[in-house]
A and B are shown apart, each in its own frame.
Chain A
């Protein structure tokens, strides 16, 4: 594993998240019926930060949930290491809400496909919108993001590593060669 480039530092990341928070409010005309759901693990922390960002701008608290998609994966038996099943925590009714689904990196789109299936088992949201910190391309499914922190063109033999204060001790995004 060789680090090729640092594409976002902590300031750039914080500016991206704050811009996304503004865009979410603009697009949804405020916080009415708005809720945020992050995909474990880093998407959950980003969801929390977006909720805080929105509160800074609009002064209103919006519900935040966490989705663990392990049980909805279509590749469980192909994985080298078994993922530990963690809890999904959505304590509010998602029916008729505008849900902002949050993940760190958008790549093949398969994680998002799982998340959509799981979310819809919880109710019938009015809309589901997708926010990601990084879109690295190479989609295998017809899925796109509504809010993107940064588009980063990559090759398939590279990985995008999102590091967050909460999990890694610092905020940054790097491209790493496999």
Chain B
């Protein structure tokens, strides 16, 4: 199996073998972060640009740490402080970054399809760090990596994704990835937060979290994005916690060793209780650690494929 894509845009477009290659490569990269000198020269002389049109700390920092552990040079551009404010288009911004002789462009954008559009117009590698409601491939890859590390397999696992499925690129990427590797995914939320047609992506739908948790090996708790609620379509916070919040009481009725995941930042007392967030099944901070290894693997593989295409 050889990696030939200069870009990573989403898990929908990847084969099972390609996903497995990223996961295996990430396993090797995880060891690098445990060394005294947490750095290898693999991307020495390469430039990685993080172009973020949406606020993000953890994903941007994770990409930055990953690039630095591979010895790449990193430049961070936040749209609030850039010429985007002067009306420059996304493609023009991308072409300017290419003209700087950057090698990899990591993009976070509020429009679905932004990364795909850039990849079409640029010769350098484009890595999608989240586009609108479309995909967030590296988040799903680190979720899957953590599941595999903790449970030893993906095939046959039952995974519940609970929360605002409608507006979640994390849910979409997870459904694509987990399905390809043979896991069963159930999405669980109030009716108004389940998008039409999600079952065609291969997910089962549940409106009752207690039923959904019954046979689950893991539950991926999404953040309730109250800041995106322009239409007041969301249930009130307390109401949501009562009906869908992950609490110790609820987990008592689930499988004994059920894993609790969350892409962060967590809202204690809204999606999950503090006891659960800090509890024995929680792997939330391990997800953060694994995110670095996964992003190192993605940067390494796309950079090499990009080099071959030059």
A binds B: yes
Give, as a whole number of angstroms, the nearest-CB distance from A81 to chain B: 7
Closest to B306 in A: A77
Within 8 A of A (CB), among B1-15: 2-3
- Return chain A residues, CB-CB under 8 Å to B35: 121-122
- The proximity string for A residues 58-91 relative to B, scoring 1 for CB distances below 8 Å and 0 otherwise, is 0000000000101110001100011011111100
Report the Cα distance A117→B40, complex, angstroms: 10
> B36 to chain A: which residues have CB within 8 Å?
121-123
CB-CB < 8 A to A117: which residues of B?
Answer: 41
Give chain A residues whose Cβ lies under 8 Å from the Cβ of B247. none
Interface, chain B (partner A; CB < 8 A): 2-3, 21, 24-25, 27-29, 31-32, 35-37, 39-42, 70, 297, 300, 304, 307-308
CB distance from B47 to the nearest CB of A (A): 15
Of the residues A82, A87, A118, contact of B304 by C-beta under 8 Å: A82
A88 close to B31 (CB less than 8 A): yes
Closest to B1 in A: A84
Contact A87:B31 (CB < 8 A) given known A77-B307, A123-B36: yes
Q: Mark A34-69, 1 if CB is under 8 A from B, else 0.
A: 000000000000000000000000000000000010
Bits for A118-160, please: 1 = Cβ < 8 Å to B, else 0. Answer: 1001110000000000000000000000000000000000000
Is A71 a contact partner of B41 (Cβ separation < 8 A)? yes
Which chain B residues border A82 with CB–CB below 8 Å? 2-3, 304
- Are A85 and B31 in contact (CB-based, < 8 A)? no
Compute how far the CA of A87 lies from the CA of B40 in the bound complex, rounded to whole angstroms.
13
State A122–B37 Cα separation when bound (angstroms): 7
From B40, B297, B304, A77 is in contact (CB under 8 Å) with: B304
CB–CB B308/A77 < 8 A: yes
Between-chain CB contacts (< 8 Å), 8 pairs: A72-B40, A72-B42, A76-B307, A82-B2, A84-B24, A121-B37, A121-B39, A121-B40
Q: How far is the CA of A68 from the CA of B24 in the complex (A)?
A: 14
| Chain A residues with CB below 8 A from B28, complex form | 68, 85-88
19 more CB-based (< 8 A) A-B contacts, given A85-B297, A85-B300, A122-B37: A70-B42, A71-B40, A71-B41, A71-B42, A76-B304, A77-B307, A82-B2, A82-B3, A82-B304, A84-B21, A84-B25, A85-B25, A86-B28, A87-B31, A121-B35, A121-B36, A121-B37, A122-B35, A122-B36
